Amino acid sequence: MELRKVDPRILLEDPNNTRRTQVHPAYDDQLLASIIATGGPVQPPVIRERDGALYIFVGHRRVKACIRAEYPEIHVLVVQSDEKADIMASLAENLVRQGLNTVDTWRAMEALVGAGWTEDAVATALNLPGRTVKRLRLCGNIHNAILEQMARGDEPNERELRIIASAPREDQAEAWKKFKPKKGDRAAWYDFARALDKRRMYARNADFDEATAKAHGIVWHEDLFEQGDQDSRYTTQVEDYLGAQHEWMEHHLPKKGVILTVGTDGQPKLPPKAVRNHGNPRKTDIIGHYVDDRTGKITTVTYTMPADKAATSSKSKGKPGKAPEVEEITPPPKTRPPVTQDGLKMIGDLQTDALHKAFAEDPIDDLTLIGLLVLAFAGKNVEVRTGIANEELRFHGREILAGRITENGILTADPDTLRKAARDALQIALGLRTTNYGGNSGLVARIAGAAVNADRHLGGMATEEFLSCLSKAEIEAVASANGVLPKPTGKLTRAAVVAQFKDGDYVYPGAMFGLSADELAAHAGAGKPRSYRFDQDDEPEADEDPIDPEGNNLEDAA
Protein backbone atom coordinates (compact mmCIF):
# COMPACT_ATOMS: atom_id res chain seq x y z
CA MET A 1 0.00 0.00 0.00
CA GLU A 2 1.48 3.33 -1.09
CA LEU A 3 0.19 6.93 -1.02
CA ARG A 4 1.07 8.71 -4.26
CA LYS A 5 0.33 12.05 -5.87
CA VAL A 6 -0.72 11.61 -9.51
CA ASP A 7 -2.47 13.42 -12.34
CA PRO A 8 -6.10 12.16 -12.20
CA ARG A 9 -6.26 12.18 -16.01
CA ILE A 10 -3.85 9.23 -16.29
CA LEU A 11 -6.04 6.95 -14.17
CA LEU A 12 -7.90 4.28 -16.14
CA GLU A 13 -11.38 2.81 -15.65
CA ASP A 14 -11.31 -0.59 -13.95
CA PRO A 15 -12.99 -3.24 -16.17
CA ASN A 16 -14.11 -5.02 -12.97
CA ASN A 17 -16.03 -2.00 -11.68
CA THR A 18 -19.44 -3.21 -10.52
CA ARG A 19 -21.22 0.12 -11.02
CA ARG A 20 -22.07 0.34 -14.73
CA THR A 21 -25.25 2.43 -14.54
CA GLN A 22 -24.56 6.13 -14.42
CA VAL A 23 -25.85 8.03 -11.38
CA HIS A 24 -28.03 11.11 -11.75
CA PRO A 25 -25.95 14.18 -12.76
CA ALA A 26 -27.23 16.03 -9.67
CA TYR A 27 -25.31 13.61 -7.43
CA ASP A 28 -22.12 14.20 -9.44
CA ASP A 29 -22.63 17.96 -9.11
CA GLN A 30 -23.10 17.54 -5.36
CA LEU A 31 -19.87 15.54 -5.08
CA LEU A 32 -17.99 18.14 -7.16
CA ALA A 33 -19.19 20.99 -4.93
CA SER A 34 -18.17 19.05 -1.82
CA ILE A 35 -14.67 18.30 -3.17
CA ILE A 36 -14.12 21.95 -4.17
CA ALA A 37 -15.33 23.17 -0.77
CA THR A 38 -13.01 20.83 1.13
CA GLY A 39 -9.98 21.33 -1.17
CA GLY A 40 -10.00 17.79 -2.53
CA PRO A 41 -11.53 14.38 -1.80
CA VAL A 42 -11.68 13.58 1.92
CA GLN A 43 -10.81 9.96 1.17
CA PRO A 44 -8.20 9.32 -1.55
CA PRO A 45 -9.33 7.02 -4.40
CA VAL A 46 -7.95 3.48 -4.21
CA ILE A 47 -5.86 2.45 -7.23
CA ARG A 48 -4.64 -0.95 -8.50
CA GLU A 49 -1.41 -1.09 -10.51
CA ARG A 50 -1.28 -3.69 -13.27
CA ASP A 51 1.39 -3.91 -15.99
CA GLY A 52 2.57 -0.39 -15.22
CA ALA A 53 -0.90 1.13 -15.61
CA LEU A 54 -3.00 2.60 -12.81
CA TYR A 55 -6.64 1.45 -12.65
CA ILE A 56 -9.31 3.05 -10.48
CA PHE A 57 -10.50 0.45 -7.99
CA VAL A 58 -12.56 2.58 -5.60
CA GLY A 59 -13.51 6.21 -6.24
CA HIS A 60 -14.43 6.51 -9.93
CA ARG A 61 -16.79 9.43 -9.27
CA ARG A 62 -14.21 11.15 -7.06
CA VAL A 63 -11.62 10.96 -9.83
CA LYS A 64 -14.07 12.38 -12.40
CA ALA A 65 -14.99 15.19 -10.03
CA CYS A 66 -11.32 16.07 -9.51
CA ILE A 67 -10.82 16.20 -13.29
CA ARG A 68 -13.85 18.51 -13.58
CA ALA A 69 -12.36 20.66 -10.81
CA GLU A 70 -9.15 20.85 -12.92
CA TYR A 71 -6.86 19.61 -10.13
CA PRO A 72 -3.41 18.95 -11.66
CA GLU A 73 -2.65 16.26 -9.04
CA ILE A 74 -4.48 14.36 -6.32
CA HIS A 75 -3.47 11.87 -3.64
CA VAL A 76 -4.32 8.22 -4.39
CA LEU A 77 -3.77 5.03 -2.43
CA VAL A 78 -2.05 2.37 -4.59
CA VAL A 79 -2.63 -1.24 -3.47
CA GLN A 80 -1.68 -4.65 -4.83
CA SER A 81 -3.98 -6.25 -7.40
CA ASP A 82 -5.98 -9.44 -6.81
CA GLU A 83 -8.65 -9.94 -9.51
CA LYS A 84 -11.05 -12.13 -7.47
CA ALA A 85 -10.73 -9.93 -4.41
CA ASP A 86 -11.12 -6.85 -6.61
CA ILE A 87 -14.51 -7.95 -7.93
CA MET A 88 -15.87 -8.75 -4.44
CA ALA A 89 -14.51 -5.53 -2.94
CA SER A 90 -15.95 -3.47 -5.80
CA LEU A 91 -19.36 -5.08 -5.27
CA ALA A 92 -19.20 -4.44 -1.52
CA GLU A 93 -18.13 -0.83 -2.07
CA ASN A 94 -21.21 -0.13 -4.19
CA LEU A 95 -23.78 -2.45 -2.60
CA VAL A 96 -23.07 -2.75 1.12
CA ARG A 97 -23.43 0.89 1.98
CA GLN A 98 -26.25 3.21 2.95
CA GLY A 99 -26.72 6.96 3.02
CA LEU A 100 -26.92 8.83 6.30
CA ASN A 101 -30.35 9.01 7.86
CA THR A 102 -31.95 12.36 8.69
CA VAL A 103 -30.72 12.45 12.29
CA ASP A 104 -27.11 11.55 11.45
CA THR A 105 -27.09 14.13 8.66
CA TRP A 106 -28.41 16.77 11.06
CA ARG A 107 -25.80 15.87 13.70
CA ALA A 108 -23.04 16.14 11.11
CA MET A 109 -24.35 19.54 10.04
CA GLU A 110 -24.50 20.73 13.64
CA ALA A 111 -20.88 19.65 14.07
CA LEU A 112 -19.94 21.73 11.00
CA VAL A 113 -21.85 24.74 12.32
CA GLY A 114 -20.15 24.29 15.69
CA ALA A 115 -16.79 24.30 13.88
CA GLY A 116 -17.58 27.68 12.37
CA TRP A 117 -19.36 26.75 9.11
CA THR A 118 -22.34 28.94 8.23
CA GLU A 119 -25.56 27.47 6.86
CA ASP A 120 -24.77 29.02 3.47
CA ALA A 121 -21.31 27.45 3.48
CA VAL A 122 -22.74 24.01 4.33
CA ALA A 123 -25.31 24.38 1.56
CA THR A 124 -22.61 25.36 -0.94
CA ALA A 125 -20.26 22.54 0.07
CA LEU A 126 -22.99 19.89 -0.21
CA ASN A 127 -24.67 21.52 -3.23
CA LEU A 128 -27.96 21.69 -1.34
CA PRO A 129 -30.59 24.45 -1.36
CA GLY A 130 -30.36 26.66 1.72
CA ARG A 131 -33.94 25.76 2.66
CA THR A 132 -32.98 22.07 2.74
CA VAL A 133 -30.21 22.82 5.24
CA LYS A 134 -32.65 24.85 7.34
CA ARG A 135 -35.18 22.00 7.22
CA LEU A 136 -32.59 19.50 8.40
CA ARG A 137 -31.65 21.83 11.23
CA LEU A 138 -35.28 21.66 12.40
CA CYS A 139 -34.21 18.40 14.03
CA GLY A 140 -32.75 20.64 16.73
CA ASN A 141 -36.35 21.41 17.74
CA ILE A 142 -37.26 17.75 18.18
CA HIS A 143 -37.43 16.00 21.55
CA ASN A 144 -34.49 13.65 22.23
CA ALA A 145 -36.67 10.52 22.60
CA ILE A 146 -38.17 11.17 19.17
CA LEU A 147 -34.72 11.73 17.64
CA GLU A 148 -33.58 8.40 19.05
CA GLN A 149 -36.51 6.65 17.36
CA MET A 150 -35.70 8.39 14.07
CA ALA A 151 -32.02 7.45 14.40
CA ARG A 152 -33.07 3.77 14.38
CA GLY A 153 -34.28 4.23 10.82
CA ASP A 154 -37.92 4.83 11.75
CA GLU A 155 -38.59 8.31 10.35
CA PRO A 156 -41.79 10.31 9.81
CA ASN A 157 -42.60 11.56 6.33
CA GLU A 158 -41.92 15.19 5.40
CA ARG A 159 -45.38 16.44 6.38
CA GLU A 160 -45.22 14.69 9.75
CA LEU A 161 -41.68 15.96 10.39
CA ARG A 162 -42.88 19.46 9.60
CA ILE A 163 -45.65 19.24 12.21
CA ILE A 164 -43.47 17.61 14.87
CA ALA A 165 -40.55 20.05 14.49
CA SER A 166 -42.91 23.03 14.64
CA ALA A 167 -44.52 21.94 17.92
CA PRO A 168 -43.16 23.06 21.33
CA ARG A 169 -40.85 20.44 22.87
CA GLU A 170 -43.09 20.10 25.94
CA ASP A 171 -46.04 19.26 23.65
CA GLN A 172 -43.86 16.73 21.82
CA ALA A 173 -42.89 15.08 25.13
CA GLU A 174 -46.53 14.84 26.22
CA ALA A 175 -47.67 13.35 22.90
CA TRP A 176 -44.71 10.92 22.86
CA LYS A 177 -45.83 9.49 26.19
CA LYS A 178 -49.14 8.61 24.56
CA PHE A 179 -47.85 7.31 21.23
CA LYS A 180 -44.44 5.89 22.19
CA PRO A 181 -44.03 2.55 20.38
CA LYS A 182 -43.13 -0.68 22.10
CA LYS A 183 -39.52 -1.80 21.84
CA GLY A 184 -38.76 -2.92 18.28
CA ASP A 185 -42.02 -1.49 16.86
CA ARG A 186 -42.34 1.43 14.48
CA ALA A 187 -43.85 4.67 15.71
CA ALA A 188 -47.40 5.67 14.77
CA TRP A 189 -46.15 8.89 13.19
CA TYR A 190 -49.49 9.79 11.62
CA ASP A 191 -51.33 9.70 14.95
CA PHE A 192 -48.43 11.38 16.72
CA ALA A 193 -48.29 14.25 14.21
CA ARG A 194 -52.08 14.63 14.23
CA ALA A 195 -52.01 15.10 18.01
CA LEU A 196 -49.50 17.95 17.57
CA ASP A 197 -51.02 19.52 14.48
CA LYS A 198 -52.24 23.06 15.04
CA ARG A 199 -54.24 25.27 12.75
CA ARG A 200 -52.12 27.79 10.85
CA MET A 201 -52.81 31.24 9.51
CA TYR A 202 -50.46 32.53 6.82
CA ALA A 203 -49.07 36.06 6.58
CA ARG A 204 -49.76 36.15 2.85
CA ASN A 205 -53.50 36.15 3.57
CA ALA A 206 -53.31 38.98 6.12
CA ASP A 207 -54.45 42.53 5.29
CA PHE A 208 -53.14 44.02 8.54
CA ASP A 209 -49.61 45.40 8.74
CA GLU A 210 -46.67 44.44 10.93
CA ALA A 211 -47.49 47.12 13.49
CA THR A 212 -50.97 45.59 13.99
CA ALA A 213 -49.43 42.13 14.20
CA LYS A 214 -47.06 43.33 16.90
CA ALA A 215 -49.90 45.02 18.79
CA HIS A 216 -51.80 41.73 18.85
CA GLY A 217 -48.70 39.81 19.93
CA ILE A 218 -48.61 37.75 16.74
CA VAL A 219 -45.34 35.86 16.22
CA TRP A 220 -44.53 34.67 12.69
CA HIS A 221 -42.73 31.40 11.97
CA GLU A 222 -41.23 30.42 8.62
CA ASP A 223 -42.67 27.32 7.00
CA LEU A 224 -39.52 25.81 5.49
CA PHE A 225 -41.52 23.09 3.75
CA GLU A 226 -43.51 25.53 1.61
CA GLN A 227 -42.52 25.54 -2.05
CA GLY A 228 -41.92 28.53 -4.32
CA ASP A 229 -41.17 32.17 -3.62
CA GLN A 230 -44.42 33.07 -1.85
CA ASP A 231 -44.48 34.39 1.71
CA SER A 232 -44.32 31.24 3.86
CA ARG A 233 -44.65 32.87 7.29
CA TYR A 234 -47.42 31.55 9.51
CA THR A 235 -48.74 31.72 13.06
CA THR A 236 -50.72 29.27 15.19
CA GLN A 237 -52.21 32.17 17.17
CA VAL A 238 -55.47 31.83 15.25
CA GLU A 239 -57.66 33.99 17.50
CA ASP A 240 -55.11 36.81 17.55
CA TYR A 241 -54.77 36.63 13.76
CA LEU A 242 -58.54 36.72 13.19
CA GLY A 243 -58.85 39.58 15.69
CA ALA A 244 -56.26 41.60 13.76
CA GLN A 245 -58.09 40.92 10.50
CA HIS A 246 -61.39 42.07 12.06
CA GLU A 247 -59.72 45.23 13.35
CA TRP A 248 -58.32 46.03 9.90
CA MET A 249 -61.70 45.32 8.27
CA GLU A 250 -63.54 47.67 10.66
CA HIS A 251 -61.12 50.53 9.97
CA HIS A 252 -61.16 50.04 6.19
CA LEU A 253 -64.85 49.32 5.61
CA PRO A 254 -66.19 50.99 2.42
CA LYS A 255 -68.93 53.60 2.71
CA LYS A 256 -71.80 51.23 1.85
CA GLY A 257 -70.17 48.11 3.24
CA VAL A 258 -71.42 46.08 6.19
CA ILE A 259 -69.69 43.51 8.40
CA LEU A 260 -71.22 40.05 8.51
CA THR A 261 -70.81 37.32 11.10
CA VAL A 262 -69.87 33.77 10.15
CA GLY A 263 -71.93 30.69 11.01
CA THR A 264 -70.67 27.34 12.27
CA ASP A 265 -70.63 26.11 8.65
CA GLY A 266 -68.06 28.78 7.79
CA GLN A 267 -70.54 30.69 5.61
CA PRO A 268 -71.50 34.37 6.18
CA LYS A 269 -74.86 35.00 7.86
CA LEU A 270 -77.01 37.22 5.64
CA PRO A 271 -79.90 39.27 7.06
CA PRO A 272 -83.36 37.58 7.02
CA LYS A 273 -84.93 37.49 3.54
CA ALA A 274 -81.70 38.70 1.93
CA VAL A 275 -81.06 37.28 -1.56
CA ARG A 276 -77.47 36.63 -2.48
CA ASN A 277 -76.36 38.05 -5.82
CA HIS A 278 -73.74 35.99 -7.66
CA GLY A 279 -73.77 38.27 -10.72
CA ASN A 280 -72.62 41.80 -11.31
CA PRO A 281 -73.42 44.03 -8.29
CA ARG A 282 -76.21 46.58 -8.79
CA LYS A 283 -76.47 50.05 -7.26
CA THR A 284 -79.07 48.81 -4.78
CA ASP A 285 -76.98 45.80 -3.71
CA ILE A 286 -75.30 45.61 -0.33
CA ILE A 287 -71.72 44.36 -0.05
CA GLY A 288 -71.03 42.36 3.08
CA HIS A 289 -67.51 41.83 4.41
CA TYR A 290 -66.44 38.94 6.63
CA VAL A 291 -63.32 37.06 7.71
CA ASP A 292 -63.16 33.49 6.44
CA ASP A 293 -62.37 31.45 9.56
CA ARG A 294 -60.71 28.70 7.49
CA THR A 295 -58.19 30.80 5.55
CA GLY A 296 -58.18 34.05 7.53
CA LYS A 297 -58.87 36.02 4.33
CA ILE A 298 -61.23 39.00 4.26
CA THR A 299 -63.95 38.06 1.78
CA THR A 300 -66.96 39.87 0.32
CA VAL A 301 -70.47 38.76 -0.62
CA THR A 302 -73.12 40.77 -2.48
CA TYR A 303 -76.81 40.55 -1.59
CA THR A 304 -80.15 42.33 -2.09
CA MET A 305 -82.93 43.05 0.39
CA PRO A 306 -86.53 42.60 -0.88
CA ALA A 307 -88.56 45.73 -1.58
CA ASP A 308 -91.12 46.91 1.04
CA LYS A 309 -94.47 45.22 0.29
CA ALA A 310 -96.63 48.17 1.46
CA ALA A 311 -94.82 50.60 -0.79
CA THR A 312 -95.06 48.20 -3.70
CA SER A 313 -98.81 47.73 -3.08
CA SER A 314 -99.58 51.49 -2.99
CA LYS A 315 -97.70 52.08 -6.21
CA SER A 316 -99.50 49.25 -7.94
CA LYS A 317 -103.02 50.63 -7.16
CA GLY A 318 -102.71 53.44 -9.76
CA LYS A 319 -105.25 56.19 -10.45
CA PRO A 320 -109.08 55.83 -10.02
CA GLY A 321 -110.69 54.08 -12.93
CA LYS A 322 -107.42 52.45 -13.96
CA ALA A 323 -106.93 48.79 -13.48
CA PRO A 324 -104.10 47.94 -11.10
CA GLU A 325 -100.89 46.86 -12.71
CA VAL A 326 -100.31 43.14 -12.71
CA GLU A 327 -96.95 42.21 -11.28
CA GLU A 328 -94.95 40.43 -13.90
CA ILE A 329 -93.55 37.13 -12.71
CA THR A 330 -90.09 36.54 -14.06
CA PRO A 331 -89.27 32.88 -14.48
CA PRO A 332 -86.15 31.80 -12.57
CA PRO A 333 -83.04 31.95 -14.74
CA LYS A 334 -81.69 28.73 -16.11
CA THR A 335 -78.85 27.54 -13.94
CA ARG A 336 -75.66 26.13 -15.31
CA PRO A 337 -73.23 23.95 -13.37
CA PRO A 338 -70.11 25.80 -12.20
CA VAL A 339 -67.93 23.76 -14.57
CA THR A 340 -68.98 22.01 -17.79
CA GLN A 341 -68.12 18.42 -18.63
CA ASP A 342 -65.37 19.70 -20.93
CA GLY A 343 -64.00 21.75 -18.05
CA LEU A 344 -64.05 18.74 -15.74
CA LYS A 345 -62.25 16.74 -18.42
CA MET A 346 -59.54 19.41 -18.67
CA ILE A 347 -59.21 19.46 -14.89
CA GLY A 348 -58.78 15.67 -14.93
CA ASP A 349 -56.06 15.95 -17.57
CA LEU A 350 -54.18 18.64 -15.65
CA GLN A 351 -54.55 16.77 -12.36
CA THR A 352 -53.25 13.55 -13.90
CA ASP A 353 -50.23 15.30 -15.44
CA ALA A 354 -49.44 17.02 -12.11
CA LEU A 355 -49.92 13.77 -10.18
CA HIS A 356 -47.60 11.86 -12.51
CA LYS A 357 -44.97 14.61 -12.36
CA ALA A 358 -45.04 14.45 -8.56
CA PHE A 359 -44.67 10.64 -8.65
CA ALA A 360 -41.74 10.93 -11.06
CA GLU A 361 -39.78 13.81 -9.55
CA ASP A 362 -40.69 14.70 -5.96
CA PRO A 363 -39.26 13.10 -2.79
CA ILE A 364 -41.49 10.31 -1.44
CA ASP A 365 -40.46 8.38 1.66
CA ASP A 366 -40.75 4.59 1.60
CA LEU A 367 -43.69 4.32 4.00
CA THR A 368 -45.69 6.86 2.01
CA LEU A 369 -44.79 4.98 -1.15
CA ILE A 370 -46.24 1.77 0.28
CA GLY A 371 -49.41 3.60 1.29
CA LEU A 372 -49.73 5.11 -2.18
CA LEU A 373 -49.42 1.70 -3.80
CA VAL A 374 -52.24 0.41 -1.59
CA LEU A 375 -54.33 3.41 -2.67
CA ALA A 376 -53.40 2.84 -6.31
CA PHE A 377 -54.81 -0.63 -6.43
CA ALA A 378 -57.88 0.42 -4.43
CA GLY A 379 -58.78 2.79 -7.27
CA LYS A 380 -62.13 2.32 -8.94
CA ASN A 381 -60.34 2.04 -12.30
CA VAL A 382 -58.35 -1.02 -11.27
CA GLU A 383 -58.45 -3.83 -13.67
CA VAL A 384 -56.08 -1.90 -14.40
CA ARG A 385 -57.61 0.63 -16.85
CA THR A 386 -54.91 3.26 -16.73
CA GLY A 387 -55.02 6.95 -17.59
CA ILE A 388 -51.45 6.97 -18.85
CA ALA A 389 -51.21 8.38 -22.37
CA ASN A 390 -48.50 6.06 -23.73
CA GLU A 391 -50.33 3.24 -25.51
CA GLU A 392 -47.60 0.64 -24.98
CA LEU A 393 -47.47 1.36 -21.25
CA ARG A 394 -51.27 1.43 -21.08
CA PHE A 395 -51.58 -2.13 -22.35
CA HIS A 396 -48.28 -3.69 -21.29
CA GLY A 397 -46.94 -1.37 -18.58
CA ARG A 398 -47.37 -3.80 -15.69
CA GLU A 399 -45.59 -6.58 -17.60
CA ILE A 400 -42.77 -4.16 -18.46
CA LEU A 401 -42.38 -3.18 -14.80
CA ALA A 402 -42.43 -6.80 -13.70
CA GLY A 403 -39.68 -7.59 -16.18
CA ARG A 404 -37.64 -4.62 -15.02
CA ILE A 405 -37.56 -5.66 -11.36
CA THR A 406 -37.21 -9.40 -11.96
CA GLU A 407 -34.31 -10.99 -13.78
CA ASN A 408 -34.19 -14.75 -14.30
CA GLY A 409 -37.27 -14.98 -12.11
CA ILE A 410 -35.56 -13.35 -9.11
CA LEU A 411 -36.83 -10.10 -7.56
CA THR A 412 -34.10 -7.45 -7.60
CA ALA A 413 -32.67 -6.26 -4.29
CA ASP A 414 -31.56 -2.93 -5.78
CA PRO A 415 -33.52 -0.28 -3.83
CA ASP A 416 -33.18 2.35 -6.57
CA THR A 417 -34.67 0.02 -9.18
CA LEU A 418 -37.53 -0.91 -6.87
CA ARG A 419 -38.28 2.70 -5.99
CA LYS A 420 -38.29 3.72 -9.67
CA ALA A 421 -40.60 0.81 -10.51
CA ALA A 422 -42.91 1.80 -7.64
CA ARG A 423 -43.16 5.36 -8.95
CA ASP A 424 -43.89 4.08 -12.46
CA ALA A 425 -46.53 1.72 -11.08
CA LEU A 426 -48.24 4.67 -9.41
CA GLN A 427 -48.31 6.54 -12.72
CA ILE A 428 -49.91 3.55 -14.41
CA ALA A 429 -52.50 2.87 -11.71
CA LEU A 430 -53.56 6.32 -10.46
CA GLY A 431 -55.13 9.01 -12.58
CA LEU A 432 -58.08 11.36 -12.97
CA ARG A 433 -58.25 11.47 -16.76
CA THR A 434 -61.64 10.97 -18.41
CA THR A 435 -61.18 8.65 -21.38
CA ASN A 436 -63.12 6.06 -23.33
CA TYR A 437 -60.90 3.35 -21.87
CA GLY A 438 -61.24 4.44 -18.24
CA GLY A 439 -58.45 5.85 -16.14
CA ASN A 440 -60.23 7.82 -13.43
CA SER A 441 -59.31 6.35 -10.01
CA GLY A 442 -61.73 8.59 -8.11
CA LEU A 443 -61.10 9.91 -4.61
CA VAL A 444 -58.08 7.70 -3.95
CA ALA A 445 -56.12 9.50 -6.69
CA ARG A 446 -57.08 12.83 -5.15
CA ILE A 447 -55.89 11.65 -1.71
CA ALA A 448 -52.65 10.40 -3.26
CA GLY A 449 -52.15 13.75 -5.00
CA ALA A 450 -52.61 15.59 -1.70
CA ALA A 451 -50.14 13.21 0.00
CA VAL A 452 -47.34 14.10 -2.45
CA ASN A 453 -48.40 17.76 -2.77
CA ALA A 454 -49.13 17.38 -6.49
CA ASP A 455 -50.96 20.74 -6.36
CA ARG A 456 -47.59 22.41 -6.94
CA HIS A 457 -47.52 20.94 -10.46
CA LEU A 458 -50.96 22.24 -11.42
CA GLY A 459 -51.15 25.45 -13.39
CA GLY A 460 -51.81 26.88 -16.80
CA MET A 461 -55.56 27.15 -16.19
CA ALA A 462 -55.93 30.89 -16.85
CA THR A 463 -56.71 30.20 -20.50
CA GLU A 464 -59.70 31.11 -22.62
CA GLU A 465 -60.17 27.42 -23.38
CA PHE A 466 -60.54 26.39 -19.74
CA LEU A 467 -62.20 29.50 -18.28
CA SER A 468 -64.89 29.35 -20.98
CA CYS A 469 -65.97 26.10 -19.31
CA LEU A 470 -66.94 28.03 -16.15
CA SER A 471 -70.39 29.50 -15.64
CA LYS A 472 -70.80 33.28 -15.50
CA ALA A 473 -71.31 33.15 -11.74
CA GLU A 474 -68.24 30.97 -11.31
CA ILE A 475 -65.95 33.14 -13.46
CA GLU A 476 -67.14 36.19 -11.52
CA ALA A 477 -66.36 34.38 -8.25
CA VAL A 478 -62.89 33.56 -9.59
CA ALA A 479 -62.38 37.21 -10.58
CA SER A 480 -63.51 38.47 -7.16
CA ALA A 481 -61.24 36.04 -5.31
CA ASN A 482 -58.24 37.26 -7.30
CA GLY A 483 -58.78 41.00 -7.12
CA VAL A 484 -60.24 41.40 -10.62
CA LEU A 485 -63.02 43.98 -10.81
CA PRO A 486 -66.31 42.69 -12.29
CA LYS A 487 -67.01 43.51 -15.95
CA PRO A 488 -70.33 44.00 -17.77
CA THR A 489 -70.23 40.54 -19.36
CA GLY A 490 -68.84 37.13 -18.47
CA LYS A 491 -66.66 37.23 -21.58
CA LEU A 492 -64.99 40.47 -20.52
CA THR A 493 -64.55 39.18 -16.96
CA ARG A 494 -62.94 36.04 -18.37
CA ALA A 495 -60.56 38.11 -20.49
CA ALA A 496 -59.63 40.18 -17.41
CA VAL A 497 -58.79 36.99 -15.45
CA VAL A 498 -56.62 35.75 -18.34
CA ALA A 499 -54.81 39.10 -18.37
CA GLN A 500 -54.38 39.02 -14.58
CA PHE A 501 -52.39 35.77 -14.77
CA LYS A 502 -50.49 36.37 -18.01
CA ASP A 503 -47.17 36.29 -16.11
CA GLY A 504 -47.95 33.37 -13.80
CA ASP A 505 -49.81 30.09 -13.47
CA TYR A 506 -53.37 30.08 -12.20
CA VAL A 507 -54.90 27.07 -10.47
CA TYR A 508 -58.67 26.80 -10.28
CA PRO A 509 -59.55 25.96 -6.62
CA GLY A 510 -61.89 23.19 -7.76
CA ALA A 511 -58.92 21.45 -9.38
CA MET A 512 -56.96 21.15 -6.13
CA PHE A 513 -56.43 17.61 -4.88
CA GLY A 514 -57.77 18.13 -1.34
CA LEU A 515 -61.20 16.61 -0.64
CA SER A 516 -64.29 18.69 0.06
CA ALA A 517 -66.30 18.24 3.27
CA ASP A 518 -68.84 16.03 1.49
CA GLU A 519 -66.11 13.92 -0.11
CA LEU A 520 -64.34 13.58 3.24
CA ALA A 521 -67.56 12.38 4.84
CA ALA A 522 -68.15 9.84 2.07
CA HIS A 523 -64.58 8.60 2.24
CA ALA A 524 -64.68 8.36 6.04
CA GLY A 525 -67.79 6.20 5.78
CA ALA A 526 -66.01 3.85 3.41
CA GLY A 527 -63.09 3.50 5.80
CA LYS A 528 -64.84 2.55 9.03
CA PRO A 529 -62.71 0.14 11.13
CA ARG A 530 -63.53 -3.47 10.53
CA SER A 531 -61.93 -6.87 10.73
CA TYR A 532 -59.83 -7.69 7.69
CA ARG A 533 -61.44 -11.14 7.40
CA PHE A 534 -63.77 -11.27 4.41
CA ASP A 535 -66.18 -13.67 6.11
CA GLN A 536 -67.49 -11.58 8.99
CA ASP A 537 -69.69 -14.39 10.34
CA ASP A 538 -66.76 -16.66 11.14
CA GLU A 539 -65.70 -16.94 14.74
CA PRO A 540 -61.97 -16.28 15.35
CA GLU A 541 -59.80 -19.33 15.36
CA ALA A 542 -58.41 -20.55 18.67
CA ASP A 543 -55.00 -19.03 18.01
CA GLU A 544 -56.42 -15.72 16.80
CA ASP A 545 -56.99 -12.64 18.95
CA PRO A 546 -60.71 -11.82 19.26
CA ILE A 547 -61.67 -8.53 17.62
CA ASP A 548 -64.65 -6.42 18.67
CA PRO A 549 -66.88 -4.68 16.08
CA GLU A 550 -64.79 -1.51 16.35
CA GLY A 551 -61.60 -3.36 15.40
CA ASN A 552 -60.06 -3.41 18.91
CA ASN A 553 -58.17 -6.35 20.35
CA LEU A 554 -60.36 -7.58 23.22
CA GLU A 555 -57.50 -9.33 25.01
CA ASP A 556 -55.43 -6.13 24.92
CA ALA A 557 -58.44 -4.18 26.22
CA ALA A 558 -58.86 -6.64 29.09
Instruction: Indicate if 262 and 361 belong to the same structural domain.
Output: no
Given 95, 122, 145, the domain boundary residue is 95
Q: Would residue 468 count as lying in a domain?
A: no
Query: 16 with 79, same domain?
Result: yes
Phi, psi of 306 (to 5 degrees): -65, 150
CATH code, domain with 15: 3.90.1530.10
**Residue among 414, 441, 413 nearest 426 (CA):** 441
- Burial class, 306, CB count within 10 angstroms (exposed 0-12 / middle 13-18 / buried 19+): exposed
DSSP annotation string for 6-23: E-GGGPEEPTT-S--SPP
Is 61 within a domain? yes
The answer to whether residue 547 sits within a structural domain is yes
Same domain, 444 and 545: no
Nearest Cα residue to 43 out of 24, 63, 72: 63
Dihedral sign, CA of 165, 167, 173, 176? negative
Domain limits for position 8: 2-95
Contact at 8 Å (CB) between 302 and 285? yes
pLDDT 10s digit of each residue in the chain, 558 long? 677 889 999 888 876 654 555 566 766 777 787 788 777 877 788 888 888 888 888 888 889 989 998 999 988 888 876 544 454 455 444 444 445 567 777 777 777 777 777 777 777 666 666 767 777 777 777 888 888 888 887 888 877 887 888 788 888 888 888 888 888 888 888 888 888 877 788 888 899 998 889 888 898 887 766 655 677 788 888 888 988 998 899 888 887 788 988 887 778 888 888 888 877 777 788 888 998 888 888 988 888 887 655 444 555 454 454 544 544 445 556 667 788 888 888 888 888 888 888 888 888 877 667 666 665 655 656 565 556 656 555 556 666 766 776 766 776 777 777 788 788 888 877 888 776 556 687 888 888 888 888 888 887 888 888 888 888 888 888 888 888 887 888 889 889 988 888 877 788 888 888 888 777 877 776 555 444 343 334 444 444 444 343 444 433 433
Residue 432 and residue 373 share a domain: yes
- Both 347 and 308 in a single domain? no
Query: How many CB atoms sit inside 10 A of residue 20's CB?
Result: 6
As for how many domains the chain has, the answer is 4
Query: Is 160 part of any domain?
Result: no
Q: Give yes or no: residues 261 and 359 share one domain.
A: no
Does residue 302 lie in a domain region?
A: yes
CB 161 within 8 A of CB 190: no
